[in-house]
Structure 1
Amino acid sequence: MATPKGKPNRLGRTGMAPRKLPARAVRIAAFSMLVLAVACAGKEQNTVSGEYNSFEATRLFSVGYHDIADIYIEEVAMADLAVAGLREVAEMDPTVAVERHGDDLSMRVKGRETHVFPLPKSEDPDRWGSMTASALEAGQSYSPTLRNKSAEELYESMFEGMLVHLDPYSRYAGADRARENRANRDGFGGIGVRIGMVDAGIEILSVMQDSPAKSAGLAEGDVIVAIDGEPAAMLGRAEAVEKLRGRIDSRVALTVRREDLEYPVQIAVRRGHIVPQTVEYRREGDTAYIRVSGFNQNTAESMRRVIGKARRDIGPDLAGFVLDLRDNPGGLLDQAVDVSDLFVREGRIVSTHGRHPDSHQYFDADPDDLGEGRPVVVLVNAASASASEIVAAALQDSGRAVVIGSTSFGKGTVQTVLRLPNRGELTLTWARFHAPSGYALSRRGVLPDVCTSGKAEDFDDVLADLRHSRMTRQTRTHSAAYGDGQAGEEALEALRASCPGRRASPSLDLDVALRLIHDRELYRTAAGTVPAKLAQVHH
């Protein structure tokens, strides 16, 4: 497993840490998951009541201001945050207006000034938290609309106004959404099936390998008609998922209908810890095709397993690996590092740099290669972002892989997830990450070695351009020609336009990848170097 160099990684590589700054879970993108009938290991209780409470709000906003001041990648004035947030809350009621006049904050209701709040003289987060909570309370006293809003609705609006002007990736999640986010990152307690709603109840669309559902004999196409005796046809999707949720090791009784059985069967399932699957493997002749849809806490270990499976399935004839990162929006930083380290033997994998001293992190490879030197091709497109860009850049810069497709998204920033007193989460951008060769990926992305979105749009044209050296490794000139993330807009656009981003995932990418894996000369042309053991690999 790769380890950070330089400053210690006090954020922690996985999981949620206590509030002591800056011990947090680090993410580099949130990724969407298919709805799984799974659940958190236990029910979390929201520590904030449904109605607005000024004391609780003061604590919440103070913590929020503290986090932004300490962690965010750029310095932000507290006054700007507070005014923007309160204006967003005021949008809930057209009769309410909030304006800043010098060192004062004015609140007007129906055109009449009702309150004037002196703005704190210092950047003390506690003072700003108190002022913000008082302003919200004052607004509620004059506005029936605001008075009828729940505490969470007010919090969400306030944080949305505060964060919208920072960057697209900093965001707030209330207690319910944060619980789901944590479940996607860290795993669930549940049975491990993907579901769809039908007239008769709940159809099982797929069953995860090594899950409680698999062990209990549930299968794709089964229809759950009752859960613990309650008819499933009466449930909505959210209710169905909630019913299938529960503590790890607790039991749920399912009544299941199958096409080949005359009567429904009773199946008892013991819930277990489920981490959503992000890695899929299939054999493409003598090549291992591995698709990674996101990066959660189990991704690197899943990759390790499927690489081992591919080596057993195909044996000594294993020609190479295709790693498909198209449409992969990212996930956990440590998992991107560890996936890269499965193939990279030495050198830098990624580094991160921000305003906070602990944001300067350096991750280097350990001396092993599960691919045993076999050629690797990485597929990317315009929807490959963040963690997937770390992997693509690391394998490309190390000469360990050829990248095929179109220019990636260019989300080269690191987010850290901070737990709030109301069990919500504040996700803040705190660093930018840099490829091994030094260039910043933010807004630029990873340019493929073999572009399939340019003028050459079919298999023969792509190969012809490659054979005649009309395609070259474009990333060689990243740092020299465009500096360290400081390129002008025109230069940056010209760079990205050299292989236009495309969100589609055409079969052309895979066809070219398979040809390169079996053609040493083409692989050498695309990569500029050949993996050390390529000559020893059987084809």
Structure 2
Amino acid sequence: MRRPMGTRWQGLLSAFLAALFLSACAGNPRLADAQPPEETRVVFAVGYDAISEKYIKPKTARALAIEGLEGLSDADPTLAVEEHGGLLWLVQNGRLLRVGVTPRPKNLDAWAELSADFLAISLANRSPEAKADAAAFTTAMFNRVLGSLDSHSRYANGQTTTRHREKRRGYSGVGLHIQQLEKSFIVTKVMPKSPAEKAGIQVSDKILKIGGTPAAMIKLEDFPNRLRGTVHSRLSLVLKRRNVAKPIKVILNRQQIFATTVHYERRKTIAYFRLSSFNRNTARSLARHLAWIETELDAPFQGIVLDLRDNPGGLMNQAITVADLFLRSGRIVSTRGRHPNSSQTYNAGASDIGTALPIVILLNGKSASSAEIVAAALHDQGRALVVGSRSYGKGSVQTILPLPNGAEITLTWSRLYTPNGKSLAAGVEPDICTVGLSKAGTNPQAILTSLANTRKAGLCPALKAKNDLDFPLAEKLLKTPGLYASLFRKPPEEIAHKETSD
């Protein structure tokens, strides 16, 4: 935004030009009739108010709106906003479109009204090349606002918001992924334990009809909505399967569908869990698996590996519940922010259904947010060792704020602290750093040496790739109880010295 230095004469000149401009608007229908709809003003008012109240740092309505107005040029490069004294000018290729009086810095309603007004004028005068509608202008403006705050705060339009909510909360459907090939719809994935799997639908099945409507008459973008509906509602499909002459008709009952985030394998005597993210079903799914492994009597387990590598996080309450599965007492995580509700302390309950088995957590540089909460909690409470590389270090909590237009704001409102009081912004340091470790590093002496070197170096790099040695090293630790236990009790230098001298 161009802001020429204001002087008394410039201020008078700006006021004079504004008066001329306002009188000229009556003769220009594109300017005079471009009144912003009330819902647009409300969207800006709600957004600015929520950010001013809840963002981790104080922000005035002026600071937010000025950033938002800059976003008009992102939607249409022919537009620019200039500040002249106490006035804001909306300019298009040197032509003055609108003049607005600058409100007081904290006047949320006035800044919201000015933002909506400039958006309406921009929309009415957009260049043919821009092809931006009202939603695109709104998105561009809020992208500027949220982008000016930090890298984790963001705006999502209505369509993106729907996808984000489905990842967090699940959706009511039948558990099918489909792809359009020419004019046919082909099943590409059947989700485990879904209505589609229970009905026997297979990958590569061709959908001929959905709810009685020929699939060829349905657009690809409309297909997901046809598969979804209210929980327990019925859906009929007619399928064509390879090497089956007659079409197959199935009736499915829709249910709540969650993306699978807990992946379990029994690797001999190790219970291996890979958590890909944290959605509303993660803790419940993990608890079911933990209860199930206790019933396996053919061979005892020696330990649990929680693989949180490449886990970007997700719902914080799920991370707290997951950590609580393995803890009987003590702090899990605490948060501190500017808003009173953003400062909280979360403690473990009385039950540890995760058995008394030893735990090793695997991390890398793409382990973030909720994954770091779990790792830090179990590590600081002496419940798990951490192997791999330093985690991402997100260190902050975002709250989700819905807007009246169906969009949502993801806003940073507090910082995360481990049970030991450290900020998670620095990431979680592994007990044993596997960055640069050779294949010989899985023998006990090499493990101790690696541990000593990790502590001396201070920081283990945040390696984004997965190290193939992470699991073998974790397995060796879990299968060597004395070594595993000793790492919690003594400094690594003392252990290494004792092992060498014995």
> TM-score, normalised to structure 2's length?
0.84
Confirm or deny that 1:374 pairs with 2:335. no
2-structure distance, mates of 1:463, 1:101: 71
Contact 1:389–1:408 (CA<8 Å) still a contact in 2?
yes
Deviation string, structure 1 residues 329-375 (Cα, Å, up to 9, x no partner):
11111100000000011110000111111111000011221222210
AA matched with 1:446: V
Contact 1:72–1:429 (CA<8 Å) still a contact in 2?
yes
In the other structure, the counterpart of 1:58 is: 41
> Per the alignment, do residues 514 and 195 of structure 1 end up closer, same or farther by CA in structure 2, a change over 3 Å counting?
farther
AA matched with 1:514: E
> Per the alignment, do residues 514 and 242 of structure 1 end up closer, same or farther by CA in structure 2, a change over 3 Å counting?
same
In the other structure, the counterpart of 2:253 is: 270
In the other structure, the counterpart of 1:535 is: none
2-structure distance, mates of 1:447, 1:257: 53
> Per the alignment, do residues 407 and 236 of structure 1 end up closer, same or farther by CA in structure 2, a change over 3 Å counting?
farther
Contact 2:72–2:80 (CA<8 Å) still a contact in 1?
no
Confirm or deny that 1:448 pairs with 2:426. no
2-structure distance, mates of 1:404, 1:499: 11
Q: Which runs of 5+ in 2 are unaligned?
A: 1-33, 491-502
In the other structure, the counterpart of 1:537 is: none
Question: Could you tell me how far 1:207 is from its partner in structure 2?
Answer: 3.1
Aligned to 2:263, the other structure's residue is in SS state strand
AA matched with 1:130: E
Contact 1:456–1:462 (CA<8 Å) still a contact in 2?
no
Question: Could you tell me how far 1:469 is from its partner in structure 2?
Answer: 6.3
1-structure distance, mates of 2:158, 2:415: 28
1:366-515 matched pairs, under 5 angstroms: 366-442=349-425, 444-453=426-435, 455-460=436-441, 463-468=444-449, 470-471=451-452, 474=455, 495=458, 498-515=459-476
Contact 1:401–1:527 (CA<8 Å) still a contact in 2?
no
> Per the alignment, do residues 384 and 235 of structure 1 end up closer, same or farther by CA in structure 2, a change over 3 Å counting?
farther
Contact 1:201–1:234 (CA<8 Å) still a contact in 2?
no
In the other structure, the counterpart of 1:331 is: 314
Question: Could you tell me how far 1:473 is from its partner in structure 2?
Answer: 7.4
Contact 1:345–1:367 (CA<8 Å) still a contact in 2?
yes
Of 92, 98, 104 in structure 2, the residue corresponding to residue 115 of structure 1 is: 98
Contact 1:449–1:472 (CA<8 Å) still a contact in 2?
no
How many residue pairs match? The answer is 457
Question: Could you tell me how far 1:117 is from its partner in structure 2?
Answer: 1.4
1-structure distance, mates of 2:364, 2:238: 43
In the other structure, the counterpart of 1:23 is: none
Confirm or deny that 1:304 pairs with 2:265. no
AA matched with 2:437: A
2-structure distance, mates of 1:502, 1:295: 21
In the other structure, the counterpart of 2:479 is: 518
Question: Mean Cα displacement is larger for which, 268-277 or 141-150?
Answer: 141-150
> Per the alignment, do residues 310 and 200 of structure 1 end up closer, same or farther by CA in structure 2, a change over 3 Å counting?
farther
Contact 2:88–2:102 (CA<8 Å) still a contact in 1?
yes
- Structure exhibiting the larger radius of gyration computed from Cα positions: 2
Contact 2:199–2:251 (CA<8 Å) still a contact in 1?
yes
> TM-score, normalised to structure 1's length?
0.79
Contact 1:473–1:527 (CA<8 Å) still a contact in 2?
no
> Per the alignment, do residues 161 and 469 of structure 1 end up closer, same or farther by CA in structure 2, a change over 3 Å counting?
closer
Of 180, 198, 203 in structure 2, the residue corresponding to residue 215 of structure 1 is: 198
AA matched with 2:62: A
Contact 2:72–2:79 (CA<8 Å) still a contact in 1?
no
Identity %: 39
Contact 1:381–1:503 (CA<8 Å) still a contact in 2?
yes
1:138-177 matched pairs, under 5 angstroms: 138-145=121-128, 149-177=132-160
Aligned to 1:389, the other structure's residue is in SS state helix
1-structure distance, mates of 2:177, 2:63: 44
1:128-277 matched pairs, under 5 angstroms: 128-145=111-128, 149-198=132-181, 201-232=184-215, 238-259=221-242, 261-277=244-260
> Per the alignment, do residues 182 and 136 of structure 1 end up closer, same or farther by CA in structure 2, a change over 3 Å counting?
same
1-structure distance, mates of 2:285, 2:69: 45
Contact 2:123–2:133 (CA<8 Å) still a contact in 1?
no
Deviation string, structure 1 residues 125-161 (Cα, Å, up to 9, x no partner):
1121111111222333444459963221111011011
2-structure distance, mates of 1:236, 1:515: 54
2-structure distance, mates of 1:525, 1:469: 15
Of structures 1 and 2, the one scoring higher in RCO (CA 8 A, sep 6+) is 1
AA matched with 1:445: G
1-structure distance, mates of 2:100, 2:183: 58
Contact 1:459–1:508 (CA<8 Å) still a contact in 2?
no
Contact 2:313–2:369 (CA<8 Å) still a contact in 1?
yes
Deviation string, structure 1 residues 408-464 (Cα, Å, up to 9, x no partner):
11111100001111121111000011011001111x1111111111x3232536754
> Per the alignment, do residues 345 and 112 of structure 1 end up closer, same or farther by CA in structure 2, a change over 3 Å counting?
same
Aligned to 2:273, the other structure's residue is in SS state strand
Deviation string, structure 1 residues 229-251 (Cα, Å, up to 9, x no partner):
44546766544323312222222
> Over aligned residue pairs, what C-alpha RMSD do you find?
2.5
> Per the alignment, do residues 245 and 368 of structure 1 end up closer, same or farther by CA in structure 2, a change over 3 Å counting?
same
Aligned to 2:346, the other structure's residue is in SS state strand
> Per the alignment, do residues 109 and 57 of structure 1 end up closer, same or farther by CA in structure 2, a change over 3 Å counting?
same
Deviation string, structure 1 residues 308-343 (Cα, Å, up to 9, x no partner):
122223567121111111111111111000000000
Q: Which runs of 5+ in 1 are unaligned?
A: 1-50, 478-493, 530-539
AA matched with 1:66: D
Confirm or deny that 1:94 pairs with 2:77. yes
